[in-house]
């Protein structure tokens, strides 16, 4: 049997260490927002990535790419079926980065919710998938 205290602690911790595409987009729209760290392969990065994201497929190189250990970081990989972002977030915390969150849904849900990506043909966005985001009104 769960207690209210345990449930509050659990959900508060989830919100402290995760963000979703809509919240990330809102944070980026109102200012520079967090540094988005894409840990997918080079091939995946070239297919498309979030605008202004940092590509870091090898977290051991973090200090070269992310010198500020106090930066607000949001890490992602492909999607819910990929735990690469969880592994990378853990590695970043172990390397001394203090503010690391995971983008739930990853790149897949960023795209499915209709947010912009940058790919070989430039910046693009697709219509939101009605199963993941409301259709534009």
The CATH number given to 19-124 is 3.40.250.10
Mean pLDDT over the full length of the chain: 94
CA distance 103 to 20: 5
Task: Select from 77, 54, 75 the least CA-distant residue to 66.
Answer: 54
**Number of helices and strands (H, E) in the chain?**
6, 7
pTM for this prediction: 0.92
Handedness of CA 75, 104, 48, 27 (dihedral sign): negative
Residue-wise pLDDT for 74-127, tens only, equals 999 999 999 999 999 999 999 999 999 999 999 999 999 999 999 999 999 999
Q: Work out the burial of residue 121: count CB atoms within 10 Å of its CB; fewer than 13 is exposed, 13-18 middle, 19 or more buried.
A: exposed
């Amino acid at each position: 049997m769960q207690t209210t205290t345990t449930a509050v602690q659990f959900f508060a911790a989830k919100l402290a260490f995760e963000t979703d595409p809509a919240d990330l987009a809102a944070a980026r729209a109102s200012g520079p927002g967090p540094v988005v760290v894409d840990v997918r392969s080079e091939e995946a990065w070239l297919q498309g990535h979030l605008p202004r994201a940092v590509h870091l497929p090898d977290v051991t190189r973090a200090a070269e790419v992310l010198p500020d250990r106090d930066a607000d970081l949001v890490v992602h990989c492909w999607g819910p079926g990929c735990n690469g972002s969880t592994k990378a977030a853990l590695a970043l915390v172990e390397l001394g980065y203090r503010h690391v969150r995971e983008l739930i849904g990853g790149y897949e849900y960023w795209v499915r919710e209709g947010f912009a990506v940058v790919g070989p043909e430039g910046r693009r966005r697709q219509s939101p998938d009605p199963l993941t985001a409301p259709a534009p009104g």
